[in-house]
Homo-oligomer: A and B are copies of this chain.
């Protein structure tokens, strides 16, 4: 992660990375919302009965791997089987996480959430025929949500380092519920929900030369963003944190 640039992990740097990624998530959802649902992109078709979106994500991940992606613990592929090696020189980042960090993934849950729950909330019914563009935009949303959520590995590491005496007994007892409680800060979560909703209101307005101040509606319902963070992004991030912590003393 950029937050680990100096080799020393700080909570401020991890928070900055998370806050910056909120903008990217909002942008990506607004871009996907340009197109209607486009159901044919998700129906079994083509080679082997796979949907266009599954075909595209598998192939795009293979291409990204050749280009040097998926070297960092927060970049987790959705289809990790048989990913090719990079063909280009990469720069290695300092290892600040426990080596087992790479095993922690909640991508299956992210995939299901995105297609079953989120997509119907922020796209309108319909079919504009732009299936290829649609799945490219879906992949961008999926990747950003996955990176956002898997940065939970760094959050957990920072919190553990800050208070190993609180975490270690719960880890040794494999007490997931108490770890979850220890990681939960309701006041912080409320702030995040409000901030992403404000970002959606700001970035989703229809800007004209007249001073309309968003008067003509938004490109995406801002409450979808607070719901996304409340119901899925923050809970899944904490799942990542717990899964990471449970391996932290191995």
Contacts and interface: CB of A to CB of B under 8 A. Distances in A.
A5 B128 contact: yes
Main secondary structure of the interface of A (DSSP, over half): helix
Contact of A67 (B2, B131, B194, B203): B131
B202 A209 contact: no
Nearest to A41: B88
Contacts of A86: 132
Contacts of A169: none
A239 B206 CA distance: 29
Contact of A133 (B69, B133, B199): B69
Interface string A51-66: 0100110011001101
A218 interface: no
A88 B46 contact: yes
Interface stretch (A26-34, A110-118, A154-162): A26-34
B34 A27 contact: no
A95 interface: no
Contact of A195 (B47, B93, B209): B209
B27 A132 contact: no
Interface of A: 2, 5, 20, 23-24, 27, 30-31, 34, 40, 45-47, 52, 55-56, 59-60, 63-64, 66-69, 86-93, 127-133, 135-136, 140, 191, 194-195, 198-199, 202-203, 205, 207-209, 219
